Amino acid sequence: MRDPLRDVDWSVRVSSLPQAIQEACDAAGLSPNAVIFHDLTLGGERPAAANASIDWPSYFCDKAGFVLVLAYLVRNHLPLEMDIRITRASTGTSHFRMHPPLDPHAKAMLQAINPREAQAMADLNARAESVFARLRQAHLPDVDGRDLT
């Protein structure tokens, strides 16, 4: 029997302001090379307003580092976006916005187009918000002698 999970490739991206991502990576002990700076000229934005992100899995970001970066952003109430990309050989690539949740109008449109995907996205958003709540209250270990709170 063929394992359907073997044909799935997925990644998670957390985006925020460049300074916030850099501070979170530093606090988590990640290499500065983990930070992905997005095209600053594409939308005509000033560099200070453009987003940066980290991806997991990636060469410069392991699972623990990713969770510590996410925890730093959540605990310090810094703005963030979290997206999941899932690629299946049979169906192609799907993108899910985990945080912030979709606005009510977008949720209603998704519900009308694909109720099953709408419910799956609602479930993912609820799980993400639950994790964020736990991260806000958790005691995080020190990384290289620095407190992440």
Per residue in 18-76, pLDDT (tens digit) is: 999 999 999 999 999 999 988 665 555 544 446 899 999 999 999 999 989 988 998 88
pLDDT at 40: 60
DSSP code of 46? -
Range of lowest pLDDT (71-75, 82-86, 112-116, 145-149): 145-149
Output helix, strand, coil percentages for the chain, rounded to the nearest 5: 45, 25, 30
For 62-93, write each residue's pLDDT tens digit. Answer: 999 998 998 899 888 888 888 888 887 777 78
CB-side neighbour CA atoms (13 Å) of 22: 7
Could you tell me the residue ranges of all domains in the chain?
7-137
Between 68 and 6, residue with greater pLDDT:
68
pLDDT at 7: 73
Residue 88 pairs in a beta bridge with 8, 92
- Give pTM, 2 decimals: 0.68
pLDDT at 39: 65
pLDDT at 123: 81
